[in-house]
Amino acid sequence: MTPALRTTPDPEQPGTTPPPVALTIATSDPSGGAGIQADLKTFSALGAYGTAVLVALTAQNTRGVTGIQVIPTAFIAEQLDTLFADVSVDAVKIGMLANAAVIRTVADALVRLRPPCIVLDPVMVAASGDRLLEPDAVADLRDRLLPLVDLVTPNIPEAATLLARPPAQSVDEAEEQARDLRRMGARRVLLKGGHRLDSDESTDVYVDAERTRLFNAPRIRTRHTHGTGCTLSSAIAALRPQRPGWPEAIGAAKAYLTEAIAAADTLAVGTGNGPVHHFYHWWGNRDAAS
């Protein structure tokens, strides 16, 4: 799928174009570090207009998840149909979907609505270790949703779960697993190695039909990494309509996330694994903000 670029001029501001519209289909995080809240912050930080369809609510903070309440699937479908009936969506990011029924509902909507650009973050387990996707839903995620999206962004444990094999222990093994995910039906794969591959760099492996490419960034030593996966996938969705290709969007998104992680210690949110700093550029520059 080729993302639609926003080229309609604004009659009140000649020479300008409206921002791309990005949609997140995901779950709420009351602590604001992950899920819908992180996605909307990321969209805004990177120049996209954010919209959202909620599929579930969580009771969680920076220390863990204590409960999940799934929204009825009929209402999820109604949210999507109502939004697309009025708003031209340029990019979709899909996050935590909770169970098989929600996955099937979202997959059916994607076939029906045909958004031009879809990024899937196959969220299964929170950074705290709490399970966010029911075990019987993995097959639906792999078989029904994966072939419909333009890019899937699993971390190492998620890729291993999708492939039903042990987690990759090296960049070479991560490359092999990324290629195997493509053979399973994914158009493009970005396998994230940031929190498992032991090195001084965070290395993500990108594979498409034509190339394999490594995206490296310095490993930031901090415990405040809540929502990194949500932030990276939503950053890619926000930037793809603004960049000439997927590698360019991924590179810019990873650079943004690296800076957001580097600034995370300046926040004081919660007593556990805190969020990254989505607005590090603006909040760290008071003159620019004013």
Catalytic residues: 192, 225, 227-230
Could you tell me the strand order of the sheet in which 189-192 lies?
64-70, 49-61, 21-28, 91-94, 118-120, 151-152, 189-192, 201-207, 212-218
Reduce the DSSP state of residue 28 to 3 states and report it.
strand
How far apart are the C-alpha atoms of 105 and 116, rounded to whole Å? 18
DSSP SS3 for 159: helix
d(CA 155, CA 157): 6
The amino acid that residue 109 corresponds to is A
Asked if 278 and 42 count as a contact pair (C-beta separation under 8 A), the reply is: yes
CB 167 within 8 A of CB 156: yes
Cα(228)–Cα(275) distance, rounded to whole angstroms? 8
CA distance 19 to 86: 16
CA distances from 22 to 43, 53, 93, 181, 271 (A): 7, 11, 8, 25, 31
What are φ and ψ of residue 264, in 5° steps?
-60, -35
∠ CA 84-85-90, rounded to 5°: 35
Q: How far is Cα 258 from Cα 204, in angstroms, rounded to an integer?
A: 12
